[in-house]
Protein backbone atom coordinates (compact mmCIF):
# COMPACT_ATOMS: atom_id res chain seq x y z
CA UNK A 1 0.00 0.00 0.00
CA UNK A 2 1.00 3.62 -0.46
CA UNK A 3 1.06 5.53 2.82
CA UNK A 4 1.58 9.29 2.74
CA UNK A 5 0.45 11.07 5.92
CA UNK A 6 3.54 13.22 6.32
CA UNK A 7 1.61 16.41 7.04
CA UNK A 8 -0.81 16.83 9.91
CA UNK A 9 -4.10 18.42 8.83
CA UNK A 10 -4.42 21.49 11.01
CA UNK A 11 -7.63 23.52 11.06
CA UNK A 12 -8.13 26.17 8.39
CA UNK A 13 -7.61 29.09 8.51
CA UNK A 14 -4.29 28.39 10.18
CA UNK A 15 -3.84 30.13 13.53
CA UNK A 16 -0.56 31.44 14.93
CA UNK A 17 -0.45 28.46 17.28
CA UNK A 18 -0.87 26.06 14.37
CA UNK A 19 1.83 27.86 12.39
CA UNK A 20 4.20 27.18 15.26
CA UNK A 21 3.11 23.55 15.25
CA UNK A 22 3.72 23.29 11.49
CA UNK A 23 7.19 24.79 11.95
CA UNK A 24 7.84 22.20 14.69
CA UNK A 25 6.70 19.38 12.38
CA UNK A 26 8.94 20.61 9.57
CA UNK A 27 11.90 20.80 11.93
CA UNK A 28 11.31 17.24 13.11
CA UNK A 29 11.09 16.04 9.48
CA UNK A 30 14.27 17.95 8.65
CA UNK A 31 16.08 16.15 11.46
CA UNK A 32 14.72 12.82 10.22
CA UNK A 33 16.19 13.49 6.77
CA UNK A 34 19.51 14.50 8.31
CA UNK A 35 19.60 11.22 10.24
CA UNK A 36 18.86 9.28 7.06
CA UNK A 37 21.54 11.13 5.13
CA UNK A 38 24.16 10.71 7.86
CA UNK A 39 23.48 6.98 8.10
CA UNK A 40 23.80 6.58 4.31
CA UNK A 41 26.61 9.02 3.52
CA UNK A 42 29.31 6.34 3.16
CA UNK A 43 27.24 4.44 0.59
CA UNK A 44 26.44 7.67 -1.27
CA UNK A 45 30.13 8.56 -1.59
CA UNK A 46 31.03 4.98 -2.60
CA UNK A 47 28.47 5.16 -5.41
CA UNK A 48 29.89 8.52 -6.52
CA UNK A 49 33.31 6.86 -6.77
CA UNK A 50 31.82 4.15 -9.01
CA UNK A 51 30.96 6.77 -11.63
CA UNK A 52 33.68 7.30 -14.23
CA UNK A 53 35.45 10.68 -14.35
CA UNK A 54 35.89 12.01 -17.90
CA UNK A 55 37.62 15.28 -17.02
CA UNK A 56 36.54 18.52 -18.69
CA UNK A 57 34.29 18.77 -21.77
CA UNK A 58 33.87 22.37 -22.89
CA UNK A 59 30.97 22.00 -25.32
CA UNK A 60 27.71 21.56 -23.43
CA UNK A 61 23.95 21.66 -23.95
CA UNK A 62 20.88 21.33 -21.77
CA UNK A 63 21.54 17.58 -21.64
CA UNK A 64 24.42 18.21 -19.20
CA UNK A 65 21.94 19.23 -16.51
CA UNK A 66 20.19 15.89 -16.95
CA UNK A 67 23.52 14.05 -16.81
CA UNK A 68 24.41 15.74 -13.51
CA UNK A 69 20.99 14.92 -12.08
CA UNK A 70 21.41 11.30 -13.21
CA UNK A 71 24.76 11.08 -11.42
CA UNK A 72 23.23 12.55 -8.28
CA UNK A 73 20.18 10.25 -8.30
CA UNK A 74 22.46 7.25 -8.80
CA UNK A 75 24.59 8.32 -5.85
CA UNK A 76 21.57 8.41 -3.50
CA UNK A 77 20.34 5.02 -4.74
CA UNK A 78 17.43 6.18 -6.95
CA UNK A 79 18.37 3.77 -9.74
CA UNK A 80 15.14 3.89 -11.79
CA UNK A 81 15.28 7.69 -11.83
CA UNK A 82 18.93 7.58 -12.90
CA UNK A 83 18.18 5.25 -15.82
CA UNK A 84 15.24 7.39 -16.96
CA UNK A 85 17.29 10.60 -16.79
CA UNK A 86 20.20 9.05 -18.69
CA UNK A 87 17.80 7.91 -21.42
CA UNK A 88 16.34 11.39 -21.86
CA UNK A 89 19.83 12.89 -21.72
CA UNK A 90 21.05 10.48 -24.43
CA UNK A 91 18.25 11.57 -26.77
CA UNK A 92 19.04 15.25 -26.26
CA UNK A 93 22.78 14.65 -26.70
CA UNK A 94 22.08 12.77 -29.94
CA UNK A 95 19.88 15.61 -31.26
CA UNK A 96 22.48 18.17 -30.15
CA UNK A 97 25.24 16.34 -31.99
CA UNK A 98 23.21 15.84 -35.17
CA UNK A 99 22.31 19.55 -35.29
CA UNK A 100 25.92 20.58 -34.64
CA UNK A 101 26.92 18.29 -37.51
CA UNK A 102 24.48 19.99 -39.88
CA UNK A 103 21.71 17.39 -39.90
CA UNK A 104 18.11 17.91 -38.76
CA UNK A 105 17.06 14.52 -37.39
CA UNK A 106 14.52 15.72 -34.83
CA UNK A 107 11.61 13.86 -36.46
CA UNK A 108 13.32 10.47 -36.24
CA UNK A 109 13.02 8.05 -33.35
CA UNK A 110 16.10 7.66 -31.20
CA UNK A 111 16.71 4.23 -32.72
CA UNK A 112 16.62 5.60 -36.29
CA UNK A 113 18.56 8.73 -35.34
CA UNK A 114 21.41 6.66 -33.95
CA UNK A 115 21.53 4.43 -37.04
CA UNK A 116 21.30 7.40 -39.40
CA UNK A 117 24.27 9.14 -37.76
CA UNK A 118 26.17 5.87 -38.05
CA UNK A 119 25.28 5.63 -41.75
CA UNK A 120 26.59 9.18 -42.19
CA UNK A 121 29.89 7.99 -40.63
CA UNK A 122 29.40 10.47 -37.77
CA UNK A 123 29.17 7.62 -35.24
CA UNK A 124 31.67 4.80 -35.01
CA UNK A 125 30.47 1.26 -34.48
CA UNK A 126 31.26 1.47 -30.76
CA UNK A 127 29.41 4.78 -30.30
CA UNK A 128 26.37 3.44 -32.13
CA UNK A 129 26.36 0.25 -30.05
CA UNK A 130 26.76 2.18 -26.80
CA UNK A 131 23.90 4.54 -27.68
CA UNK A 132 21.71 1.49 -28.29
CA UNK A 133 22.70 0.04 -24.89
CA UNK A 134 21.47 3.20 -23.19
CA UNK A 135 18.34 3.31 -25.38
CA UNK A 136 17.33 -0.24 -24.48
CA UNK A 137 17.86 0.35 -20.77
CA UNK A 138 15.81 3.52 -21.01
CA UNK A 139 12.97 1.79 -22.89
CA UNK A 140 12.76 -1.02 -20.33
CA UNK A 141 12.55 1.56 -17.57
CA UNK A 142 10.09 4.03 -19.09
CA UNK A 143 7.78 1.34 -20.48
CA UNK A 144 8.05 -0.44 -17.11
CA UNK A 145 8.17 -3.84 -18.78
CA UNK A 146 7.45 -6.95 -16.74
CA UNK A 147 11.11 -7.94 -16.80
CA UNK A 148 12.11 -4.54 -15.52
CA UNK A 149 9.57 -4.63 -12.69
CA UNK A 150 10.95 -7.94 -11.42
CA UNK A 151 14.59 -6.79 -11.31
CA UNK A 152 16.32 -6.83 -7.96
CA UNK A 153 17.82 -3.72 -6.44
CA UNK A 154 21.25 -5.12 -7.23
CA UNK A 155 20.37 -5.53 -10.92
CA UNK A 156 18.85 -2.05 -11.07
CA UNK A 157 22.02 -0.63 -9.54
CA UNK A 158 24.11 -2.40 -12.17
CA UNK A 159 21.89 -1.16 -15.02
CA UNK A 160 21.95 2.40 -13.72
CA UNK A 161 25.74 2.44 -13.42
CA UNK A 162 26.13 1.01 -16.93
CA UNK A 163 23.74 3.66 -18.26
CA UNK A 164 25.54 6.58 -16.56
CA UNK A 165 29.07 5.47 -17.40
CA UNK A 166 28.21 4.47 -20.97
CA UNK A 167 26.63 7.85 -21.69
CA UNK A 168 29.57 9.72 -20.15
CA UNK A 169 31.93 7.70 -22.34
CA UNK A 170 29.85 8.55 -25.43
CA UNK A 171 29.83 12.25 -24.50
CA UNK A 172 33.61 12.31 -24.11
CA UNK A 173 34.18 10.50 -27.43
CA UNK A 174 31.83 12.42 -29.73
CA UNK A 175 32.31 15.91 -28.27
CA UNK A 176 35.90 15.59 -27.06
CA UNK A 177 37.54 16.21 -23.70
CA UNK A 178 39.99 19.00 -22.94
CA UNK A 179 43.59 17.94 -23.35
CA UNK A 180 45.68 18.98 -20.37
CA UNK A 181 48.85 18.60 -22.44
CA UNK A 182 48.02 21.70 -24.49
CA UNK A 183 46.11 23.66 -21.83
CA UNK A 184 47.27 27.27 -21.53
CA UNK A 185 46.98 29.32 -18.35
CA UNK A 186 44.00 31.40 -19.56
CA UNK A 187 41.99 28.26 -20.32
CA UNK A 188 42.92 26.74 -16.96
CA UNK A 189 41.77 29.91 -15.18
CA UNK A 190 38.49 29.84 -17.16
CA UNK A 191 37.86 26.21 -16.11
CA UNK A 192 38.58 26.97 -12.46
CA UNK A 193 36.29 30.00 -12.65
CA UNK A 194 33.41 27.78 -13.81
CA UNK A 195 34.02 25.50 -10.82
CA UNK A 196 33.95 28.53 -8.52
CA UNK A 197 30.77 29.98 -10.06
CA UNK A 198 28.97 26.64 -9.68
CA UNK A 199 29.89 26.63 -6.00
CA UNK A 200 28.64 30.21 -5.58
CA UNK A 201 25.34 29.59 -7.37
CA UNK A 202 24.66 26.14 -5.96
CA UNK A 203 22.33 23.86 -7.90
CA UNK A 204 19.62 21.24 -7.59
CA UNK A 205 21.42 18.46 -9.44
CA UNK A 206 24.14 17.62 -6.94
CA UNK A 207 26.42 19.01 -4.28
CA UNK A 208 27.99 22.33 -5.26
CA UNK A 209 29.64 24.26 -2.44
CA UNK A 210 33.06 25.54 -1.43
CA UNK A 211 34.38 22.13 -0.36
CA UNK A 212 33.23 20.55 -3.65
CA UNK A 213 34.96 23.37 -5.55
CA UNK A 214 38.17 22.83 -3.56
CA UNK A 215 38.42 19.13 -4.34
CA UNK A 216 37.63 19.62 -8.04
CA UNK A 217 40.10 22.52 -8.35
CA UNK A 218 42.80 20.41 -6.68
CA UNK A 219 42.17 17.52 -9.11
CA UNK A 220 42.12 19.80 -12.19
CA UNK A 221 45.38 21.47 -11.14
CA UNK A 222 46.98 18.06 -10.60
CA UNK A 223 45.96 16.94 -14.12
CA UNK A 224 47.12 20.20 -15.69
CA UNK A 225 50.41 20.66 -13.85
CA UNK A 226 51.29 17.20 -12.57
CA UNK A 227 51.46 18.59 -9.04
CA UNK A 228 49.17 17.51 -6.21
CA UNK A 229 48.74 20.62 -4.07
CA UNK A 230 47.59 18.51 -1.10
CA UNK A 231 50.16 18.99 1.60
CA UNK A 232 49.35 16.23 4.08
CA UNK A 233 46.40 14.31 5.46
CA UNK A 234 44.98 17.21 7.39
CA UNK A 235 44.95 18.98 10.73
CA UNK A 236 48.66 19.86 10.68
CA UNK A 237 49.57 23.57 10.97
CA UNK A 238 51.41 25.31 8.15
CA UNK A 239 53.53 28.35 8.99
CA UNK A 240 54.71 30.80 6.35
CA UNK A 241 56.88 33.88 6.90
CA UNK A 242 57.38 36.22 3.98
CA UNK A 243 57.14 39.72 2.60
CA UNK A 244 53.68 40.57 1.32
CA UNK A 245 52.02 43.34 -0.62
CA UNK A 246 48.62 44.42 0.75
CA UNK A 247 46.21 43.99 -2.16
CA UNK A 248 42.92 44.59 -0.36
CA UNK A 249 41.54 45.19 3.12
CA UNK A 250 37.88 44.26 3.50
CA UNK A 251 36.39 44.82 6.93
CA UNK A 252 32.78 44.47 5.77
CA UNK A 253 32.90 40.73 5.14
CA UNK A 254 32.29 38.05 7.76
CA UNK A 255 34.92 37.43 8.90
CA UNK A 256 36.88 40.57 7.98
CA UNK A 257 39.89 39.78 5.79
CA UNK A 258 43.03 41.13 4.20
CA UNK A 259 44.38 39.92 0.85
CA UNK A 260 48.17 39.64 0.63
CA UNK A 261 50.45 38.77 -2.30
CA UNK A 262 53.88 37.27 -1.75
CA UNK A 263 56.30 39.80 -3.28
CA UNK A 264 58.64 37.03 -4.47
CA UNK A 265 56.24 34.38 -5.83
CA UNK A 266 53.18 36.51 -6.56
CA UNK A 267 50.91 33.99 -4.86
CA UNK A 268 47.96 35.56 -3.05
CA UNK A 269 46.54 34.55 0.31
CA UNK A 270 43.45 35.75 2.14
CA UNK A 271 43.96 36.19 5.88
CA UNK A 272 41.00 36.23 8.27
CA UNK A 273 41.13 39.06 10.80
CA UNK A 274 39.90 39.17 14.38
CA UNK A 275 39.28 42.35 16.37
CA UNK A 276 42.81 42.36 17.77
CA UNK A 277 44.31 42.09 14.27
CA UNK A 278 42.16 44.95 13.01
CA UNK A 279 43.24 47.19 15.88
CA UNK A 280 46.93 46.44 15.29
CA UNK A 281 46.61 47.16 11.57
CA UNK A 282 44.92 50.47 12.35
CA UNK A 283 47.61 51.48 14.84
CA UNK A 284 50.29 50.68 12.24
CA UNK A 285 48.29 52.65 9.64
CA UNK A 286 48.39 49.69 7.22
CA UNK A 287 46.82 50.57 3.87
CA UNK A 288 46.35 48.89 0.51
CA UNK A 289 49.64 48.96 -1.40
CA UNK A 290 51.80 48.73 1.73
CA UNK A 291 54.43 46.04 2.21
CA UNK A 292 54.26 43.82 5.29
CA UNK A 293 56.58 41.29 6.87
CA UNK A 294 54.24 38.75 8.42
CA UNK A 295 54.16 35.23 9.86
CA UNK A 296 51.02 33.34 8.80
CA UNK A 297 49.55 30.10 10.11
CA UNK A 298 46.95 27.76 8.66
CA UNK A 299 45.62 24.34 9.64
CA UNK A 300 45.08 22.07 6.63
CA UNK A 301 41.63 20.70 5.90
CA UNK A 302 40.67 17.05 5.43
CA UNK A 303 42.00 17.11 1.85
CA UNK A 304 45.44 18.24 2.95
CA UNK A 305 45.01 21.79 1.62
CA UNK A 306 45.55 24.95 3.59
CA UNK A 307 42.26 26.28 4.95
CA UNK A 308 41.83 29.60 6.81
CA UNK A 309 44.96 31.69 7.18
CA UNK A 310 45.58 33.91 10.20
CA UNK A 311 48.42 36.08 11.51
CA UNK A 312 50.64 34.05 13.81
CA UNK A 313 52.09 37.25 15.24
CA UNK A 314 51.84 40.98 14.64
CA UNK A 315 52.81 41.91 11.05
CA UNK A 316 55.50 44.55 10.55
CA UNK A 317 54.92 47.33 8.07
CA UNK A 318 57.89 48.04 5.81
CA UNK A 319 58.77 51.70 5.90
CA UNK A 320 60.45 53.53 3.08
CA UNK A 321 64.09 54.41 3.78
237-317 in CATH: which number? Answer: 2.40.50
Q: Is the pLDDT of residue 320 over 70?
A: no
Q: What is the mean pLDDT of the chain?
A: 87
| Residues in a beta bridge with 244 | 262, 292
Estimate the share of the chain in helix, then strand, then coil, as percent rounded to the nearest 5.
Answer: 55, 15, 35
Determine the pLDDT at residue 197.
75
CB 135 within 8 A of CB 92: no
Q: Does domain 51-176 bear CATH number 1.20.120.330?
A: yes
User: HSE on the CB side for 235, CA within 13 Å?
Assistant: 1
4-18, 80-94, 138-152, 303-317: range with lowest mean pLDDT: 303-317
70-84, 145-159, 287-301: range with lowest mean pLDDT: 287-301
Distance in angstroms (rounded) separating the CA atoms of residues 110 and 265: 54
Determine the pLDDT at residue 118.
98
Q: Is the pLDDT of residue 234 over 60?
A: no
Reported confidence tier of residue 211, pLDDT bands at 50, 70, 90: confident
Per the confidence metrics, is the pTM higher than 0.85?
Answer: no
Q: Is the pLDDT of residue 143 over 70?
A: yes
Amino acid sequence: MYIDSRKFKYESPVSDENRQAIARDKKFTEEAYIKWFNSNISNIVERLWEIDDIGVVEQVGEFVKLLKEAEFTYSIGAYKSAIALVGICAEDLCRFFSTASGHNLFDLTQNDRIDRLHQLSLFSDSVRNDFHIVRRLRNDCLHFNAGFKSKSDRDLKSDALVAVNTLKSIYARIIGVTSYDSLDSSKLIAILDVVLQEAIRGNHDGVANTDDAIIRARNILAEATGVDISINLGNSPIIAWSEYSVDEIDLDTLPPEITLSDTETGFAVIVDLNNEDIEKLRKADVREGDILFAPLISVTNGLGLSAEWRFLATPFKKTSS
